[in-house]
């Protein structure tokens, strides 16, 4: 109950996890906590949607079989894939599962996420998340600077 009312300040780095496997969930939580994120977990697809729409998460890690027997049944992943870019641009998505080869850009593109990570790379999850976030921030740097200038009323050429 207290988890629902957790205060998040502007300096916090919120992260959301959607895992069905408890061991992987703990490993991901530990990795994100060590990186300084305030970690929340989603227990169901509905819980994920409620949390994602209420908080601007900076990182989301989804297990490919989160509350599903097959990746095609993963409603959370399907929702993220159909979500307009304006609703998900602030976030770095990582998909975690057995059917991916870590950091394969085509698999990430096919799943509409920023990176895919194989379960055999669990011990490197902290570094892989850190690199994915850094790459995403580098890619969106110019966009974010332009958006800040426009909002400040100082659009330059």
pLDDT on residue 82: 95
The pLDDT-based confidence of 79 (bands split at 50, 70, 90) is very high
pLDDT above 90 covers what percent of the chain?
A: 76
pLDDT on residue 1: 43
Quick one: which H or E segment has residue 125? helix 125-151
pLDDT on residue 116: 97
Distance CA 85, CA 70 (A): 25
pTM score, whole prediction: 0.88
Helix (H, G, I), strand (E, B), or coil: what is residue 110? Answer: helix
pLDDT above 70 covers what percent of the chain?
A: 95
The pLDDT-based confidence of 7 (bands split at 50, 70, 90) is confident
Q: What is the dihedral of CA 15, 30, 94, 130, to 10 degrees?
A: 90
Average pLDDT, the chain: 92
């Amino acid at each position: 109950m207290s988890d629902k009312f957790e205060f998040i300040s502007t300096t916090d780095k919120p992260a959301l996890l959607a895992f069905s496997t408890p061991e992987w969930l703990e490993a991901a939580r530990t990795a994100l906590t060590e990186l300084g994120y305030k970690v929340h977990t989603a227990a169901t697809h509905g819980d994920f949607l409620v949390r994602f729409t209420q908080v601007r998460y900076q990182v989301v890690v989804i297990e490919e079989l989160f509350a599903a027997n097959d990746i095609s049944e993963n409603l959370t992943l399907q929702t993220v894939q159909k979500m307009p870019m304006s609703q998900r641009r602030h976030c770095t998505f990582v998909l975690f599962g057995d059917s991916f080869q870590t950091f394969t850009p085509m698999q990430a593109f096919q799943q509409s996420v920023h990176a895919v990570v194989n379960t055999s790379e669990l011990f490197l999850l902290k570094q892989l998340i850190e690199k994915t976030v850094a790459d995403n921030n580098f890619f969106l740097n110019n966009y974010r600077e332009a958006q800040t200038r426009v909002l400040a009323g100082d659009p330059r050429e």
